[in-house]
């Protein structure tokens, strides 16, 4: 859930009372007390992070995608969900759904994950009032993934499945934090996240999009500007040169391949020393696309890039285990090798 885009409201107003059917109440991350049906079978994910979360906890409850999976992504997802319809997104940049779409989908609940600012809390309240469908908003902070899994699992009636995932996420985050914690700040690599085809969009320190980098023990080379309260910013090549990153993480493979020949970029230490890595993004990104629990795999990846001696064990088995547990489909050896090749690792 990124950006600030108003909900697209259709010409027809929908006001459906669900209070008579509500059997339980739950408070979301904004403190709103929301009435829920006793049984949740159909969940509408308002944005991409919520889609990944519901897929992980209760794939049988997911009723559609914000964006239909591409053919190369479908090969990594369970057959039960690949053919689900594209319903669009209610929140974030480029929202495409409206209240007619939501009501027609007949969900028992709407789940959103990400920022819990007043903007999104207001949106949740407005959609709930217009559709009569309970709308829950949860904080998507990566470090709090175990809590998020448990909260959403209880909300949608999948507490046991969510608990298994929460324990795994806790173990992963604790292990990485313990190992990275032994590295003094002065010894942590300076890292620049080059987003997009020009490499000049980035996620500064403290942003939702930069959490993967921080949890893996890197020092974000770009500070947030004064008063910044968002996710992404545009910078100049001069800013990147001044930041002098030792490692660059790129979201665009074409840009990454061309960086060594581009004027100016050749003078960036990370480019000059050929320490540019491309983020794998199939079926979901390892860094920020979307900024959901899929980033847990990205933390494992970056930790191995930043500290190969501290994280000497191969990433391949971790990829397999993560896909099996969170995406409910075990990747083939060929698929794992392809992901590793994109990630710039041999094993």
Which CATH number is 202's domain given?
3.40.50.1980
| Confidence bin at 17 (pLDDT 50/70/90) | very low
- Taking only the tens place, the pLDDT of each residue in 63-115 is 999 999 999 999 999 999 999 999 998 876 655 667 888 999 999 999 999 98
Q: Which of 174, 201, 229 is the last residue of a domain?
A: 174
Residue 118 domain-assigned (yes or no): yes
Note the pLDDT of residue 96: 60
The number of folded domains in the chain is 2
Give the predicted TM-score (pTM) of the model.
Answer: 0.90
Q: Which of 150, 174, 198 is the last residue of a domain?
A: 174
Same domain, 149 and 223: no
Q: Domain range holding 195?
A: 183-343
Q: Is 113 a domain residue?
A: yes
Instruction: Name the percent of the chain in helix, strand, coil, to the closest 5.
Output: 45, 15, 45
Overall residue count recorded for the chain in this entry: 347
Same domain, 37 and 150: yes
Dmax (CA) for the chain in angstroms is: 66
Q: Are residues 272 and 332 in the same domain?
A: yes
Answer whether 64's CB lies under 8 Å from 89's CB.
Answer: no
How many Å apart are CA 106 and CA 145, to the nearest integer?
28
Q: Is residue 330 part of a domain?
A: yes
| Residue 312 neighbours by CB distance under 10 Å | 8
For residue range 119-177, list pLDDT tens digits in order: 888 889 999 999 999 999 999 999 999 999 999 999 999 999 999 999 999 999 999 99
Same domain assignment for residues 166 and 32: yes
């Amino acid at each position: 859930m990124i950006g600030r885009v108003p909900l697209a409201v259709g010409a027809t107003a929908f006001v459906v009372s669900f209070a008579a059917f509500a059997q339980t109440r739950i408070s979301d991350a904004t403190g709103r007390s929301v009435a829920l049906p006793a049984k949740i079978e159909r969940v509408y994910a308002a944005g991409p992070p919520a889609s990944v979360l519901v897929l992980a906890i209760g794939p049988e409850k997911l009723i559609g995608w914000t964006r239909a999976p591409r053919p190369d992504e479908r090969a990594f997802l369970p057959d039960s969900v690949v053919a689900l319809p594209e319903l669009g997104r209610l929140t974030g940049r480029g929202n495409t759904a409206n209240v007619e779409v939501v009501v027609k989908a007949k969900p028992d609940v709407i789940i959103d994950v990400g920022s819990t600012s007043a903007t999104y809390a207001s949106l949740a309240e407005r959609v709930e009032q217009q559709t009569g469908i309970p709308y829950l908003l949860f904080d998507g902070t990566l470090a709090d993934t175990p809590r998020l899994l448990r909260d959403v699992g209880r909300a949608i009636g999948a507490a046991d499945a969510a608990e298994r995932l929460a324990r795994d996420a806790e173990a992963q985050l604790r292990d990485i934090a313990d190992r990275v914690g032994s590295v003094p700040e002065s010894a942590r690599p300076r890292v620049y996240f080059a987003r997009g085809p020009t490499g000049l969009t980035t996620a500064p320190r403290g942003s939702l999009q930069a959490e993967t980098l921080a949890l893996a023990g890197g020092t974000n080379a770009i500070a947030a500007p004064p008063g910044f309260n968002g996710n992404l910013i545009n910078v100049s090549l001069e800013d990147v040169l001044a930041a002098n990153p030792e490692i660059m993480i790129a979201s665009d493979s074409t840009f990454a391949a061309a960086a060594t020949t581009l004027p100016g970029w050749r003078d960036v230490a990370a480019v000059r020393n050929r320490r540019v890595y491309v983020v794998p993004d199939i079926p979901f990104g390892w860094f920020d696309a979307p900024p959901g629990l899929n980033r847990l795999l990205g933390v494992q990846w970056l930790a191995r890039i930043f500290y190969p001696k501290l994280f000497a064990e191969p990433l391949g088995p971790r990829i397999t285990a993560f896909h099996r547990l969170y995406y409910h489909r075990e990747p083939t050896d060929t698929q794992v090798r392809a992901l590793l090749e994109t990630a710039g690792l041999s094993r």
